[in-house]
Amino acid sequence: MSPVAVEAPASRIPEELTALKGVGPALARRLENLNVYSPLDLLFLLPLRYEDRTRLSRLGALAPGDRVVIEGEIELTDVVFRRRRSLLCRISDGTGLITLRFFYFSRKQQDSFGRGRRLRCFGEVRNGTDGLEMVHPEYRLISATQPPPLEQRLTPVYPSTEGLQQYRLRTLVGQALDRYLDKVPDLLPDDLRSELAAPGLREALEFVHRPPADADLAMLAAGCHPCQRRLAAEELRAHHLSLRRTREQTRAEAGIPLPVPKKLRADFLRRLSFSLTGDQQKVLRDIDGDLAQKHPMMRLLQGDVGCGKTVVAAAAALGAVAKGHQVAIMAPTELLAEQRRDSFGRWFKPLGINIAWLSGSLKKSARDLVYTAIADGEAQVIIGTHALFQQGLEYHRLALIIVDEQHRFGVGQRLSLREKGSADGEGPRPHQLVMTATPIPRTLAMIMYADLEVSVIRELPPGRQPVQTVALSDQRRGDIVARVRRACSEGHRAYWVCPLIEESDALQAQAAESTFEMLREALPGVSTGLIHGRMKAAMKESVMKAFAAGEHQVLVATTVIEVGVDVPEASLMIIENAERLGLSQLHQLRGRVGRGATQSTCVLLYHSPLSGLAKQRLAVLRETSDGFRVAQQDLRLRGPGEVLGTRQTGLMQLRVADLVRDADLAPLVQNAAGRMVGKNAGAGGPENASLLIARWLGQNSRYGSV
Ligand code: ADP
Ligand code: MG
């Protein structure tokens, strides 16, 4: 067998940025802010967008908003004091006029703008006080008889950082291209390269940094150019490989087998007021299978809101408890964690299992007690928020971590949690079960969750009727109040949700409060509760309990009730400002009703006029109650960063790839990845994988090391 083709190793490219001409330690440090640590990184610092400076625009043909190169002769230069002192310079080219406006300028600059001299500028055209103007254009004085040539290529615009100008970055990238491009190894295996039918790496890099003047700008802006796709495939593959590697490492680690004793499981199931659905049983078998192994489980449990993931998690936790180990259950919000505590309490206390509660709002004295109970093993099941993974908290024998509503935590937090899980010792690593109600299309899951096994619950518990969804203008609020009155008189309960209007807790609470007052007046004899994020946890809890117990018939709430809240008697849900919420969020909210046997209704109140996009969104909800379809549409309309929560955590931040646009690359990337990390990857395989991960994930390539 011939050895795998050895490509020029990256080591021929110097590691140090200072190897580049004009780069000293200070500039090198600035580049580090862009995650550029070496000349190779510069080649993979990809443009955000492009400007066309290859053409000269005539002044007579300009329109506001154009970003263009112009040229003209100076007619007039003047310093004016209207609202601010500014230098104005009027130029003309025989077809029209434009004013250049500078708020910051030097005497020297002013003097250089003499009448009759010629300027070439690049900037954005806008409407000014006296016709069109350009504010602080890039400019140079040029010779009228021998004007310098225009750019031959489109101009890339790079992500920038303070103290580092675009032209500087462009020059540096240019230098790196000239010197090192032909030394950059193409790390994709041949078969993937040919399946992609895309240009080679070097060609792709050259193109995205220096697109020819006739390149299709629209295509580039959309990220669909074959050269961009080539790079996107590499990037997706790097992420995928990195997560795969985590998975391989987990497989190789020691875990604690946690088989569930048959009798304990039977006792648990017997006490439930229902039997598990077929899907619940199936995923429980998956999980049981994992937990019986000698290496840690890493499983994602996906299932629509209300499908009954919690009870599956509880059934799975029994093995750990039976063996004298601890289980930690983490939920993203306090309210949700409280609900989990209540469910687990209901199910576990009769079995004599000891549950501990931990949240950020516990007083220090109370927290110390809980910490002690956790450290000495008295607490068997520990439920809470992020507080579960605070520093200083030591577990006695943590063997299983259950993360609820995973999508709220993002990729980064999920991975750091894994590190924390075993931070207390060299012992075996805990098993992990992560649960999410955000259904991720398979192609995306292949990449995002490559480190996890995936189980899906598609079936809802029997007897559930799909929630009827209507969209109404908020001018019909009066009719809706009447409807709530009717529902209450028939013994039903209703949620009235006042979601985010501004990015502020305070304003959100205010909106909820005024709705609360309005309803109290409009519904005499109906008991109405109010819950929002600014209330103390104890207060929220007592209101929630009163609603669950039927003491309140109407609950006015902010989006704090979004996930996991469970009151089967609630059959009417009104959502204000529905046009401003994302589809998945609306779907989650809607999932609070339709949990009992009564036909439930969800009213989406919107404020007219609706934008086209908002109309589409509301239509999706009216047409389907299938969370998978909702999520697909949400991805299409909003993009994955918003939907999956990767935007905030910034870890799966992609440079060229787009998880939706490039979803079709996922199968290719995944197949090739399998060959690469597998045993038969060939001599060059594993090294290539490491290089590829380092290239794209750079200093963030911690996926592989956790
Ligand atoms: P999820 O966490 O998946 O959104 P939950 O676990 O909160 O859903 O379950 C929603 C409700 O359905 C709970 O009241 C739960 O007790 C109930 N439930 C779960 N499984 C079943 C089942 N197989 N049959 C009937 N009700 C069930
Ligand atoms: Mg849930």
Give the β-pairing of 49-51 and 155-157: antiparallel
Please indicate, yes or no, if residue 1 is contained in any of the structural domains. Answer: no
Please state, in angstroms and rounded to a whole number, the distance separating the CA atoms of residues 581 and 620.
13
Query: Does 575 contact ligand 1 (Cβ within 6 A)?
Result: no
Same domain membership, residue 322 and residue 435:
yes
**Residue length of the chain:** 706
More confident position, 417 or 456 = 456
Which amino acid type is present at position 452?
L
Atom of ligand 1 nearest to the CA of 343: 16
Instruction: Retrieve residue 615's tokens.
Output: 């109309």
Report d(CA 57, CA 217) in Å as an integer. Answer: 17
Report which ligand 1 atom has the smallest distance to the Cα of 339.
Answer: 7
Distance 311 CA to ligand 1 centre (A): 7
Distance, CA of 198 to CA of 479 (rounded, Å): 59
Give residue 568 CA to ligand 2 midpoint distance, Å: 13
Q: Is 641 in the pocket of ligand 1 (CB under 6 A)?
A: no
Q: Find the mean pLDDT for residues 537-547.
A: 84
Beta-carbon neighbour count of residue 415 at 10 Å? 19
629 is a domain residue: no
Task: Establish how many alpha carbons lie within 13 A of residue 233's alpha carbon, considering only the half-sphere containing its beta carbon.
Answer: 30
What is the rounded distance in angstroms from the CA atom of residue 378 to the CA atom of residue 427?
19
Q: Determine the Cα–Cα distance for residues 179 and 183; give it in Å rounded to an integer.
A: 8
For residue 298, tell me if it sits in a domain: yes
Work out the average pLDDT over 547-572. 83
E-state strands within 150-193: 155-157
Provide the number of structural domains found in the chain: 5
Q: What is the mean pLDDT of residues 313-332?
A: 94
Residue 491 and residue 373 in one domain? no
CA distances, 595 to each of 310, 466, 621 (Å): 14, 9, 17
The pLDDT, as a whole number, for residue 415 is 59
Instruction: Note whether 618 and 517 are same-domain residues.
Output: yes
Q: Is the CB of 307 under 6 A from ligand 1?
A: yes
Q: How far apart are CA 234 and CA 657, in angstroms?
A: 9
In the predicted structure, residue 577 carries a pLDDT above the cut 50: yes
Confidence band, pLDDT 50/70/90 cuts, at residue 155: very high
CATH of residue 72's domain is: 2.40.50.140
What span, in angstroms and rounded, lies between the C-alpha atoms of 246 and 13? Answer: 28
For ligand 1, atom 26: residue with the closest CA: 461
Whether 484 maps to a domain, the answer reads yes
> Does 277 contact ligand 1 (Cβ within 6 A)?
yes
Residue whose Cα lies nearest atom 23 of ligand 1: it is: 276
12: pLDDT strictly greater than 50: yes
Mutational test site, ligand 1, from 271, 282, 311, 563, max ligand atoms within 8 Å of CB: 311
Atom 6, ligand 1: which residue's CA is nearest?
308
> pLDDT tier at 678 (50, 70, 90 boundaries)?
very low
For residue 276, tell me if it sits in a domain. yes
Higher pLDDT, 574 or 331: 574
Domain boundary among 92, 118, 150: 150
| Torsional sign, CA 419, 405, 701, 166 | negative
Q: Which two tokens stand for residue 55?
A: 């053409």
Look at residue 389 and tell me whether its pLDDT is greater than 90.
no
- For residue 304, the CA-to-ligand 1 centroid distance in Å is 11
Distance 616 CA to ligand 2 centre (A): 27
Q: 47 alpha carbon to ligand 2 midpoint, in Å?
A: 41
Cβ of 595 less than 6 Å from ligand 1: yes
Sign, CA dihedral 328-329-332-337, equals: negative
Which of 274, 406, 408 most suits a substitution to test ligand 1, by most atoms within 8 Å of the C-beta? Answer: 274
Average pLDDT over every residue of 156-177? 90
Whether 510 is in a domain gets the answer yes
Ligand 2 centroid–CA 366 distance in Å is 27
Beta-carbon contacts of 101 under 8 Å, excluding residues fewer than 6 positions away, are 86, 87, 88, 128, 133, 134, 135, 136
- Backbone phi, psi, residue 409, to 5°: -95, -30
Residue 649: pLDDT band with limits 50, 70, 90 = very low
Cα of 528 from ligand 1 centre, angstroms: 26
Verdict on whether the full-model pTM lies above 0.95: no
Who wins on pLDDT, 47 or 406? 47
Are 370 and 362 in contact by the 8 Å Cβ rule? The answer is yes
Biggest distance spanned by C-alpha atoms of the chain: 96
Question: Which of 229-238, 288-297, 384-393, 642-651 is predicted least confidently?
Answer: 642-651
pLDDT tens profile 601-612: 999 999 888 888
276 lines ligand 1 (CB under 6 A): yes
| Pair 170, 111 in one domain | no
Give 287 Cα–ligand 2 centroid separation in angstroms: 17
How many Cβ atoms are within 10 Å of 538's Cβ, its own excluded?
9
Same domain as 332, residue 303:
yes
Task: Express as a percent the part of the chain with pLDDT over 90.
Answer: 50
**Residue 409: inside a domain:** yes
Task: Write 161-166 long-range contacts (CB < 8 A, 24+).
Answer: 161/30, 161/31, 161/33, 161/34, 162/30, 162/33, 163/30, 164/27, 164/30, 164/31, 164/33, 164/34
The CA distance from 279 to 268, in Å, is 18
For residue 674, give its domain range: 237-251+662-705
Q: Which ligand is nearest to the CA of 343?
A: 1
Closest to 437 measured CA to CA, from 569, 560, 589, 549: 589
Ligand (nearest to CA of 313): 1
Per-residue model confidence as pLDDT tens digits over 33-42: 888 999 999 9
CA-nearest residue for atom 17, ligand 1, is 308
How does residue 555 score in pLDDT terms, banded at 50, 70 and 90? very high
* pLDDT value at residue 229: 92
Q: What is the pLDDT of residue 565?
A: 66
Kindly list the distances between the CA atom of residue 203 and the CA atoms of 9, 197, 212, 447, in Å, as whole numbers in the listed order. Answer: 18, 13, 12, 26
Compute the mean pLDDT over every residue in the chain, rounded to the nearest whole number: 85
Containing 167, the helix (H) or strand (E) segment is helix 166-180
Residues 308 and 440 in one domain: yes
Q: What is the pLDDT of residues 169-208, one digit of tens each?
A: 999 999 999 999 999 988 887 778 888 888 999 999 999 9
Percent of the chain residues past pLDDT 70, beyond the cut: 86
For the record, the structure tokens of 104 come out as 């910051």
Are 389 and 484 part of one and the same domain?
no
Q: Relative to the alpha carbon of 275, which ligand is closest?
A: 1
Question: Where among 97, 119, 150 does a domain terminate?
Answer: 150
Contact yes or no for 30/164 (Cβ under 8 A): yes
* Cβ-contact 518, 485 below 8 angstroms: no
Q: Which pLDDT score, from 0 to 100, does residue 179 have?
A: 95
**β partners of residue 493:** 570
Output the CA 165–ligand 1 centroid distance in Å. Answer: 56
- Out of 273-282, 301-310, 443-452, 640-649, least confident range: 640-649
Mean pLDDT of 300-324: 92
**Which pLDDT tens digit goes with each residue over 261-303?**
999 999 999 999 999 999 999 999 999 999 999 999 989 898 8
CA–CA separation, 142 vs 473, rounded Å? Answer: 60
User: Does some domain include residue 682?
Assistant: yes
Q: Is the CB of 303 under 6 A from ligand 1?
A: yes
The helix/strand/coil state of 1 is: coil
The predicted pLDDT at position 701 comes to 47
Inform me whether the pLDDT recorded for 373 exceeds 90: yes
Helix and strand element counts for the chain (H, E): 25, 21
Is residue 280 lining ligand 1, measured as CB closer than 6 Å? yes
Higher pLDDT, 618 or 647: 618
The tokens of 214 are what? 């006739």
CA of 564 to the centre of ligand 1 (A): 10
- Kindly indicate the confidence band of residue 647, based on its pLDDT and cuts at 50, 70 and 90: very low
What does the pLDDT read at residue 487?
93
Report whether 255 contacts 295 (CB < 8 A).
yes
Residue 76 CA to its chain's centroid (Å): 52
- Nearest residue CA, atom 13 of ligand 1? 308
CA distance 535 to 518: 20
Q: What is the pLDDT of residues 578-606, one digit of tens each?
A: 888 878 778 888 988 888 778 999 999 99
User: Sheet containing 355-358: which strands, arranged edge to edge?
Assistant: 355-358, 381-384, 326-330, 398-403, 431-436, 298-303, 453-457
Q: What is the mean pLDDT of residues 112-139?
A: 94
Q: Give 413's pLDDT tier (boundaries 50, 70, 90).
A: low
Decide: helix, strand or coil at residue 124. strand
Q: What does the pLDDT look like over 83-104, one tens digit per residue?
A: 889 999 999 999 999 999 999 9
Q: Average pLDDT, stretch 373-387?
A: 92
Question: Rounded to an integer, what distance in angstroms lies between the CA atom of residue 393 and that of residue 368?
Answer: 10
Question: 627: Cβ below 6 Å to ligand 1?
Answer: no
pLDDT at 289: 96
Question: Can you tell me the mean pLDDT for 225-251?
Answer: 88
499: number of Cβ within 10 Å: 21
Q: If you measure from the C-alpha of residue 362 to the centroid of ligand 2, how many angstroms do you get, rounded to a whole number? A: 23
Please work out whether the CB of residue 309 comes within 6 Å of at least one atom of ligand 1: yes
CA dihedral sign, ordered 185, 187, 190, 195: negative
Could you tell me if 589 and 693 lie in one domain? no
Same domain, yes or no: 333 and 427: yes
More confident: 449 or 98: 98
Residue 703 reports pLDDT greater than 50: no
Of all protein residues, whose CA lies closest to atom 22 belonging to ligand 1? 461
Alpha carbon distance 303, 435 (integer Å): 8
Ligand 1 atom nearest the C-alpha of 303 is: 3
Q: What is the rounded CA–CA span in Å between residue 495 and residue 89?
A: 62
Q: Is the pLDDT of residue 704 over 50?
A: no
What does the block give as tokens for 26?
């200070």
Location of structure tokens 């594993």: 686
- Six-digit token string for 126: 């806008």
103 lines ligand 1 (CB under 6 A): no
**Among the listed ranges 175-189, 327-341, 503-517, 639-653, which one has the minimum average pLDDT value?**
639-653
Of the candidates 366, 362, 452, 458, the one whose C-alpha atom is nearest the C-alpha of residue 414 is: 452
Residue where a domain terminates, one of 600, 624, 648: 624
Kindly report the protein residue whose alpha carbon is nearest to atom 15 of ligand 1: 308
Work out the angle between the directed axes of helices 309-322 and 262-271 (0-180°, nearest 10).
Answer: 140
**pLDDT above 80 for 681:** no
Q: How confident is the model at residue 682 (pLDDT cuts 50, 70, 90)?
A: very low
* 590: CATH: 3.40.50.300
Residues 268 and 242 in one domain: no
Read off the pLDDT band of 5 (50, 70, 90): very low
If you write DSSP's letter for every residue of 128-160 in order, what string do you get? ETTEEEEES-EEEEE-SSSPPPPPSBPEEE---
Q: Residue 302: nearest ligand to its CA?
A: 1
Q: Are residues 521 and 434 in the same domain?
A: no
Range of weakest confidence among 112-121, 393-402, 687-696: 687-696
Q: Does the C-beta of 93 come closer than 6 Å to ligand 1?
A: no
Quick one: 443 and 583 in the same domain? no
Ligand 1 pocket test: which of 310, 464, 592 has the largest number of ligand atoms within 8 Å of its C-beta? 310
- Which pLDDT value is given to residue 688? 81
* Phi and psi torsions of 580, nearest 5°: -95, -5
Ligand 1: atom nearest CA of 568 is 14
- Which is the closest atom of ligand 1 to the Cα of 309? 3
Our answer on whether the CB atom of 70 is closer than 6 Å to any ligand 1 atom is no
Q: Report the atom number in ligand 1 closest to the C-alpha of 305.
A: 4
